[in-house]
Amino acid sequence: MNRKVTVVGGGNVGATLAQRLADKELADVVLIDIVEGMPQGKGLDIMEAAPVEGSDARVIGTNDYKDTAGSDVVVITAGIARKPGMSRDDLLNTNYKIVKECTEQALKHSPNAILMVVSNPLDAMCQVAYKVSGLPKHRVFGMAGVLDSARMRTFIAMELGVSVENTHAFVLGGHGDTMVPLPRYSTVSGIPITELMSPERVDAIVKRTASGGAEIVALLKTGSAYYAPSAGAVQMTEAIVKDHKRILPCAAWLEGEYGMKGLFLGVPCKLGRKGLEQVIEVDLTQDERAALAKSAEAVREPMRAVKL
């Protein structure tokens, strides 16, 4: 194929992402990890599914960044994941070093790539990649909002017994407990969910969305979610490589939008060939603005320790 995507980190999220990208024939995929043999094994295994899946995408696994050369998109999923009792911020120091190294190595071989960060704590890791890479802001952003919105869409569909395809959800803010799901912008076929269910049920969905990651961590016990996160990263990658101009919630570097400056925060964005092509601003109520400000503070807090 004439498109190449590198997935850094061949663990649960990375390998599932590589599989989804290959199955959808979106690009040739390079899966890279520090563990010897593992990405090669997973890459070959995914390739061997290609005849059954009907995909001509090539997948290779490697420990050498030379194999990633000339990638159009680099998705960073490397790093440790949460275990029960941990917050995403507990991963900060370990993942800071990992994301820094992966960003430097990947860009050395793919200087024109768009960087999508998945590693947690998400908004802080986006800032690491942004500062370390020195790339313009439209080429560095993070995946979290698509996942958080997908969770909310799932809960809306479950509540109302409707197709997930009819649901849209709007989640702003940092990827953590302070995220800001916005019910009045969350709809079923254009109808705000506030018209379709009681305030108590809306509130329950908002709360379950905000703790959606922790719910999975508590059930799995050994790691965190990866099926829905990898699906989110695929949707964003597809929007880029196919120049879809899709409006998706992304962690974007803000310079005044939503009254915020100098941090990554989840906001609706237009994604296309150039990367994050536009931040879409919508009017917020006073309460929504206050909730977003609280979420921004929660994102800034861990970054103070890293001093980037």
Cβ atoms of 260 and 296 within 8 Å: the answer is: yes
Nearer to ligand NAD (CB atom), residue 35 or residue 49: 35
Could you give phi then psi for residue 250, rounded to 5 degrees?
-130, 155
The CA distance from 275 to 292, in Å, is: 24
Nearer to ligand NAD (CB atom), residue 174 or residue 202: 174
Cβ within 8 Å of residue 289, ≥6 positions away: 258, 259
Which of 146, 165, 92 has its CA nearest to residue 124? 92
Q: Say which DSSP state 280 is in.
A: P
H or E element: which one contains 191? strand 191-192
Q: How far is the CB of 170 from ligand NAD (least distance, A)?
A: 17
C-alpha distances out from residue 18 to 22, 75, 140, 158, Å: 6, 10, 20, 29
Q: Which residue has the tokens 């490589």?
A: 241
The CA distance from 151 to 126, in Å, is: 22
Q: How far is the CB of 246 from ligand NAD (least distance, A)?
A: 18
Q: How far is the CB of 209 from ligand NAD (least distance, A)?
A: 13
Nearer to ligand NAD (CB atom), residue 99 or residue 202: 99
The CA distance from 266 to 173, in Å, is: 5
Binding site for ligand NAD (CB under 6 A): 8-14, 33-35, 77-82, 91, 95, 98, 101-102, 118-120, 122, 143-144, 147, 175, 223-226, 229
Nearer to ligand NAD (CB atom), residue 3 or residue 175: 175
Q: How far is the CB of 153 from ligand NAD (least distance, A)?
A: 15
Question: Which spans in the chain are helix H?
Answer: 12-23, 38-53, 92-109, 122-133, 145-160, 199-210, 212-220, 227-241, 286-306
Residue 66, burial from CB neighbour count under 10 angstroms (0-12, 13-18, 19+): exposed
Which three-class secondary structure state does DSSP give residue 47? helix
Residue 90, burial from CB neighbour count under 10 angstroms (0-12, 13-18, 19+): middle
Which amino acid does the sequence have at 184? R
Nearer to ligand NAD (CB atom), residue 122 or residue 180: 122
Nearer to ligand NAD (CB atom), residue 188 or residue 212: 212
Q: For this structure, is 168 an active site residue?
A: no
Nearer to ligand NAD (CB atom), residue 35 or residue 158: 35
Which amino acid does the sequence have at 185? Y
Q: Which of 109, 138, 175, 244 is catalytic?
A: 175
Q: How far is the CB of 125 from ligand NAD (least distance, A)?
A: 8
Q: How far is the CB of 183 from ligand NAD (least distance, A)?
A: 21
Q: How far is the CB of 276 from ligand NAD (least distance, A)?
A: 16
User: Which residues does the annotation mark as catalytic?
Assistant: 175
